[in-house]
Amino acid sequence: MERQLWLDRGFDLQLRYSKDRINAEIARLAAEISSDFQGQSLLIVVVLKGAFFFAADLVRELKVPVELDYVTLSSYAGTSTTGTVAIEKDLAADIAGRHVLVLEDIVDTGLTLTRLMDLLQQRGPESLNICTLIDKKERRQAEVEPKYVGIACEGGFLVGYGLDLDEQMRELSNIYEVRQTPGGVE
């Protein structure tokens, strides 16, 4: 079982969202987005690294043509945001006049997406919207309203399905809440 490897290393993982639940939410989101953009094409902006799994599953369910591009942002150290969002790799595509949909794994404080949306808005897209798998409103510090939300969640630090704790546990199929257990080996 995928949890066991991390339990042995001193991390307590509690299942929050199963892969079946994630698949169901992705199917719902894909239907909604496909209907909203019927007859148009989408430029999908995947926010790396975390949204990689979500994007791979979502775009294959869409019924509209898409072009994919990627931006790499980072701000977290452990379970806390540093408050400084670094743009490590910018987009390759010109987004002016395009229908742009930003894909995120999680919106938490909102600092990452505020920074990205400001940057993208200045480039003149025809439309600019956010789709996030997880919307964690509890810790919001900046005003960000994703148009498409898979799962609205409460607190806890989440890992799995792309979500990491210091670059670890992204590969887990399900999403868990993680806690470090006393005396665990790192």
Ligand X SMILES: O=P(O)(O)OC[C@H]1O[C@H](OP(=O)(O)OP(=O)(O)O)[C@H](O)[C@@H]1O
Instruction: Report the catalytic residues.
Output: 108
* Helices of type H across the chain: 2-7, 19-36, 52-59, 111-121
DSSP 8-state class, residue 168:
B
- Exactly one of 3, 34, 48, 157 binds ligand HPA (CB under 6 A); which one? 157
Nearer to ligand HPA by Cβ, of 129 and 132: the residue is 132
CA–CA distance, 44 with 156 (Å, rounded to integer) = 28
CB of 114 to ligand X, least distance (A): 8
- Could you tell which of ligand HPA, ligand X, none binds residue 104, using a CB distance below 5 to 8 A set by kind? ligand X
- Could you tell which of ligand X, ligand HPA, none binds residue 158, using a CB distance below 5 to 8 A set by kind? ligand HPA
**Count of other CB atoms within 10 angstroms of residue 93:** 15
Structure tokens at 181: 């257990």
- Exactly one of 53, 76, 148, 176 binds ligand HPA (CB under 6 A); which one? 76
By the rule CB under 6 A, 17 interacts with ligand HPA: no
By the rule CB under 6 A, 6 interacts with ligand HPA: no
Question: Would you tell me which residues interact with ligand X (CB under 6 A)?
Answer: 47, 49-50, 73-76, 81, 104-112, 164
Nearer to ligand X by Cβ, of 34 and 75: the residue is 75
Nearer to ligand X by Cβ, of 34 and 48: the residue is 48
Report how far apart, in Å, the C-alpha atoms of 65 and of each of 42, 80, 155 are: 6, 37, 36
Picking from 71, 22, 74, the residue whose alpha carbon sits closest to that of residue 43 is 71
Contacts of 94 (CB under 8 A, 6+ apart): 123
Nearer to ligand HPA by Cβ, of 52 and 157: the residue is 157
